[in-house]
Structure 1
Amino acid sequence: MHHNIIFCFTNTRATFFAPGNTGPLLKSMLTSYSFKDILFKKSNTFCFDNESFRYLVACNNGIKFDDYQKDEYKRSWVTSVNETNRFMEYICNELKPYLQKNWMSIEHAQFQINRMIRPVLETIKNMMRNKILLNKNSSKSLIRLCPGPVGRNSTMCKVCKRSIIQCGEFWIMRDELHILSDRCDKCPCDFSRHSKVNYVLNYELWDEKQKPSFNDMKRNLDELIQITTEFAYFYKHVVHISKENDPLLSVLKQMTNEEKSIYSHKENRILNARLYDELRSFKNEYEKVWTISVPSKNSINLSEIYKLIKTSSKIKEISEQLSIIKQMEDNYMHEHEKQVSEDSIKRMMDKTHKKN
């Protein structure tokens, strides 16, 4: 993948369309980090300038220029066009596709974990519900998650009260969507009080023949809790974020508070009270990670983090939620992407060459 890295410099007319003083500094940085396989040569370095664009804007606003200035801007334009053509040719002819599944970096791992925070925590919470139900010998009404797609700009307001519905023997706070455009379609609350959602959760009772056993449920729950603890180590010691900025902890606190709100406002919600205790205990254990230090970030193996991401993604309840997220992402990309054929690129380049 390092061979696909390209360096682009802007505003380079002042340095004669070269990297200038940045070049030696960049080479020194690459050497100091032992990135010996990252090329930094003329072939993959491109220098542009946008003064000709500013010239056009100025002309459009009635600003006059002498012949010398016009000639300078023209040369800047021609050089930038030629560099753009070289840039396009380099991408089309020299670079090779690199499969995303082979990427491994701190930033990519962080992105993957952030993407699955809600699916993981919603699954943990529902497993806790079902473990509580399975502890009741008479209970047969286990609950399963049913994720569904949402429209673009769907959010949930952190301020507005959400209705509570009963599913089996548990009371559950509904996902009530607010759509943002110029304003929210449901409330006057500030946009900052809304959280974007990629799917909506509904709930139904398990079919008696398909419901998991208590041992399977407990094993999966314990494994997921351990995985989230490892994610906390990753956030703290690899990404180096503060406890206050831990996105997983933020969602976990919100879920715990929601469950407290459910059982504290109505009578006969003993099971919800137990669920609150389970979530609070889980939150406290998670927060303990922030009091523990490790020798160095090397003690947390990045490849192991990827294995944990893969393991948790294979759990059925999480996989179903991630599938809806992927569907929403694909729809968004499809709406905004444009197909550009190789022939159209060549025609564009030929037209540009003729103008020059």
Structure 2
Amino acid sequence: MDSNITNEINILLLGETGVGKTTFINAFANYLNNDSLEQAVNSKLLCLIPTQFVVTDVDYQVRQVSFGGDNNENFDSPGQSTTQQCRAYCFTYDDKNTDHKILVRLIDTPGVGDTRGTDQDKHNLDHVLQFISQYEVLHLICILMKPDEKRLTNSFEYCLKQLLSYLDKDATNNMVFVFTNTRPTFYKPRNTPALLKQVLDQLEKQTSGARILLDRHTMYCVDNDSFQYLIAVKNGINFEADWLANYELSWQRSVDECKRLLNYVTVGQSRKPLQPHRIQNTVSINETRRLILALSKPLLNITEDIVNYLAELDQLKADITECQDDIDNILTNLRHLDLQKSSFWSRLFKGKNNTVREREELVKLLSNKTDGKKSKESSLVYIDNLIQMLRQEEDTIMRSMAKFALFLKRNAITVWNDSCDEHIRKQRTIIKTSNKSTETIRDELKKWTAIRERYSFEQSVLEKATAMGENEGIDISVEHVAKLIPVLYELKYTGDEIREQHRQCMAHNDQQIKYELVQVIEPNESR
């Protein structure tokens, strides 16, 4: 890196598939390094990332233009996110406002709304979080959008809420909206801000104050067409002469907006630099969400087992209580309970050396033929103590789930994407009316049904746990969340099972989002 660099700016780019993030990255670097289109035509281009598009030349011939080459980009699958994995692209910028040489790091991400489904979106966003965790801060979280969405479609709402569900509330201070391709809307957003405000106002009410402002400081308008025009000209493609003036204006407008965006970070609204967002806050939010969902089924299964165990113990107590004091009657009534093969003992004490002694102790108590009355009393006391300990563990598990969920509600912009169910329903409708084979339709509907069932289960878990936490007035911090896990692991009867179930779930998740960590890429200069 250049030793003269005095500052770094990390910018995370998020957006719906097809909104133009990849093109924006190249355009952004070249806008900041070339004040005019004429200067850019006579200079070498900064190629941070490959670009491919189609244009029609002056002779109405369709020409395909490619700029760079990289297997991280997928140009051959319509509807799928073109960017296949996260990657950071860096370039330097001489900031005349501060007289500093700044390293700008643009973090490209896979798009949201991938046609492969909500599972792919989750996979992509988990991948984003793991990638950005290598940095300490983000200065800007840029959500790229089209300027003229006609109505609040489910796709629009789903993509926006899916992005916001992964962010910490503090990140709202660093969120901005960049509208691409704004030349047709006179370099201003048209319908999109009004639709955007509907969703953001709704979120603010649901989350008790997660406010995302929409004003001149948080909205920026650029146009990718002038950059594509530049690439086409560099590749020898001719256009009508009177087009040049339009693209010169487009270039100048985009230069001004990109500089204004960086000034928002370096100078701020009141001549104070914008405070960066600490990435660990957002990472903690999503680790907690993963933890809740990873533990939800194991913990619910364990609490269900506890209920069954308690029923068996209650029945055991009733059998003992009904016995006469002589030991022969006790053993006669308990003979059918074969304690060492009971589902209760085999499941609860599986692999636990310390509890083997407890099981043997109860068997010993029940087999004491010298004093039937004492054997009966001791056995009942032992079972009462066991019931009490199991109920305490059940309470600890449920309270932990409540604390996890409440932490999410108080710190995440939104706990879950409530438009996901409608998004899934519409995807199923599209599949049913498609021209695909009957077998393919059946398989795809089965996949989306499984996704809907899992989503409904996860939402139910989060809603119930959050309600429990609110009713009990629980307060919890990031540090408290981290301390809860070892407490669950150390539970005497269920801790080992919780640990193993958690390990298996997290190992599966980690396998799903494994990726190659790409080193910072310096821009290549290209004609």
TM-score of Structure 1 vs Structure 2, range by shorter chain: 0.3 to 0.5
**TM-score of the two chains, using structure 1 as the length reference:** 0.43
**TM-score of the two chains, using structure 2 as the length reference:** 0.32
Query: Higher RCO, 1 or 2 (CA under 8 Å, sep at least 6)?
Result: 2
